[in-house]
Chains A and B, each alone.
Chain A
Amino acid sequence: MLEIRSARKVFYKGQPDEKVALDGLSLSLATGEFGIVIGSNGAGKSSMLNAISGALVLDSGQILINGADVTDMPVHKRAAKLARVFQDPMRGTAASMTVAENMLLADLRSQKRTLRQGLNPARLAAYRERLAILGLGLENRLDTRVDLLSGGQRQSLSLIMAVGGSPDLLLLDEHTAALDPRTAEIVMRATVRAVDALKLTTLMVTHNMQHAVDHGSRVIMLDAGRVRLEVAGEEKANVTVADLIGHFSVKTDRMLLAS
């Protein structure tokens, strides 16, 4: 379960270019719920995700994950509770390390790291099995350095790394935006399958209105640092791309193209 209580964050406070990124934003996501976050550029989507992951320290407000207050927790401590897939495939993986080593790092996200050998046969077998689900052949490339993989393969790996160990909260930050349409579809399908199978509490930011219509149990639209609209239940089931776009105060080209 995720709960954001009147989160506020102002950049460049007191300066001429002061920018209110989060303006008393409140949001709650029940356990197992799949929330889709939409909103135009500058609406506060990234700031919200950064605040949840700990990369952004709030001016005021609270963030709770499964009832535990994580507001003052540094990024690496929160990692035990949440996993994140970034938009940029480069950010989510360690390029100079192998596929297996990256899997190991993710595997130990919520555990204490010991002085025992990291990669052992049991773990390698488990990683092979988990990667095979993607159908990209990554299971046979465990010893390949990640910088030799394509963007799509890296992003798929990031996804498998993130959903492994069933995090309390999964954050997807436009994670298919940098991929070509076909690969984006593969990654999106793998995402939905993992989220359904593991019943993960998920928050996905997207600019793709079709994804927002097709997936998730709730659409949350942000504007100027607060929640402008929530569509859930019956209404969400019947919502169309045109409905969603109608709610945007500023329509970007990107959004219209996506429709």
Chain B
Amino acid sequence: MGFIQDILTSFVAIIPVTLAQSLILAFVVLGIMIPFRMLNFPDLTSEGAFPLGGCVCGVMLAAGMAPLTGILVAFIAGFAAGCCTAFIHLRFRIHTLLAGILMMTMLYSINLRIMGKSNLSVFGSPTVFDWVPFARPGFPASKIVVAGALALLVFLALYMFFRTEKGTAVRAVGANPDMAEAQGINVWAATIGGVGLASAFSASSGALMVQSQGFADVNMGLGILINGLAALMIGEAVVGKQTVWRQLLAPFAGAIIYYQLVSFCLAAGMPPPDLKLATGLFVLAMLALPSLKRSRGPAPAREAIRE
């Protein structure tokens, strides 16, 4: 009994810290979901865009810039990275995944160039989390409030956007690019803009993370993609993806649940090095589930796989 109580105590103690972290990382999950689900453009850029945002923000903070400026510049840098990935795919007809891998690999060098070294401490610099008046700096409550407010704002803005005429057109590009083009929609513009926006969110997440943890590291993106995918899968399993509302809610709900689960596993004594294996197996299981359900029938059609 005492053993279980210990686990629970240590898990409950870090719930707020994990919540703050998951709200920040929810933006990466969003950055994975938008290309994957809305644009039918499976994209790996986030693995490079997340540290890109972190490095850019770190350098800005070290140079004494305002924390919000750091996030905005990271957002723009991420947008540019995403645009490049989409352009590589569209112009050279390179598979989206390969385009993403290329971009992510090149970004590693760029990130190192931006920082000039692999690690940069910005501890003590002002952060956007200092703005909450009633919380002491560094205490997770302020992070939860700021990151939560940002998440809510982005969620509502995107929900409104995808219901507009332009937003519907962007979704059509993901649903059926040939048809979208025949309906007068500029597929290039929508894809480049959409993937760019997604990477911009991933980069913003990196910038927030740097402000939260007090340092930027060129390796901070390692494995972020698979974590984000796992979070997305959980979110979609919990809130669904049938409507735009649910599909947009899934990354946020998924991030919150996923990181609590991880924290619980760690509290229960799971060795941290095994975490990636466990996460990978989980994502695999979630992706494999639909084909396992129909194991007796023929392999699912292409259309079904995309679902």
Contacts and interface: CB of A to CB of B under 8 A. Distances in A.
Nearest to B187: A76
B303 A95 contact: yes
B6 interface: no
B166 interface: yes
Contact of A105 (B163, B172, B187): B172
B153 interface: no
Given A80-B184, A109-B183, A113-B169, A96 B175 contact: yes
Contact of A104 (B165, B178, B180, B186): B165
B47 to A, nearest CB: 27
Interface string B162-190: 01111111011011101111111111000
A109 B180 CA distance: 9
Interface residues of A, number: 32
A84 interface: yes
Interface string A76-109: 1101100110000011111111000100111011
Contacts of A53: 182
A97 B164 contact: no
Contacts of A76: 181, 184-187
Given A76-B186, A80-B184, A110-B184, A91 B166 contact: no
A92 B180 CA distance: 9
Interface stretch (A21-29, A115-123, A176-184, A187-195): A115-123
Interface residues of B, number: 25
B163 A115 contact: no
A117 B181 CA distance: 21
B217 to A, nearest CB: 38
A193 to B, nearest CB: 23
Contact of B168 (A83, A96, A104): A104
Contacts of B168: 97, 101, 104-105, 113, 118-119
B179 A91 contact: yes
Interface in A110-167: 110, 113-119, 147, 161
B185 A105 contact: yes
Nearest to A143: B243
B176 A113 contact: no
B111 to A, nearest CB: 34
B166 A113 contact: yes
A108 B164 contact: no
A75 interface: yes
B165 A116 contact: yes
Nearest to A108: B165
B184 A97 contact: no
A211 B307 CA distance: 38
B250 to A, nearest CB: 15
A117 B184 contact: no
Contact of B164 (A75, A90, A105, A118): A118
B303 A105 contact: no
Contacts of A116: 164-165
A117 B166 CA distance: 9
B163 A117 contact: yes
A239 to B, nearest CB: 32
A119 B171 CA distance: 14
Contact of A108 (B161, B174, B184): B184
B181 A94 contact: no
Contacts of B161: 115
A105 B169 contact: yes
Contacts of B174: 96
A167 B199 CA distance: 38
Contacts of A108: 165, 169, 183-184
Contact of B183 (A95, A106, A119): A106
B106 to A, nearest CB: 29
B167 A118 contact: yes
Contacts of A115: 161, 164-166
A113 B182 contact: no
Contact of A117 (B164, B176, B182, B183): B164
Nearest to A88: B178
Contacts of B178: 91
A249 B135 CA distance: 85
Nearest to B307: A96
B167 A84 contact: no
A110 B184 CA distance: 7
A95 B164 contact: no
A90 B176 CA distance: 9
Contacts of A105: 168-169, 172, 179-180, 183, 185
Nearest to B174: A96
Contact of A94 (B164, B172, B303): B172
Nearest to A104: B168
8 contacts: A76-B181, A91-B178, A95-B175, A96-B174, A104-B165, A110-B184, A114-B165, A118-B168
Interface of A: 53, 75-77, 79-80, 83-84, 90-97, 101, 104-106, 108-110, 113-119, 147, 161
Closest 5 CB pairs of A and B: A79-B184, A94-B175, A113-B165, A94-B176, A118-B168
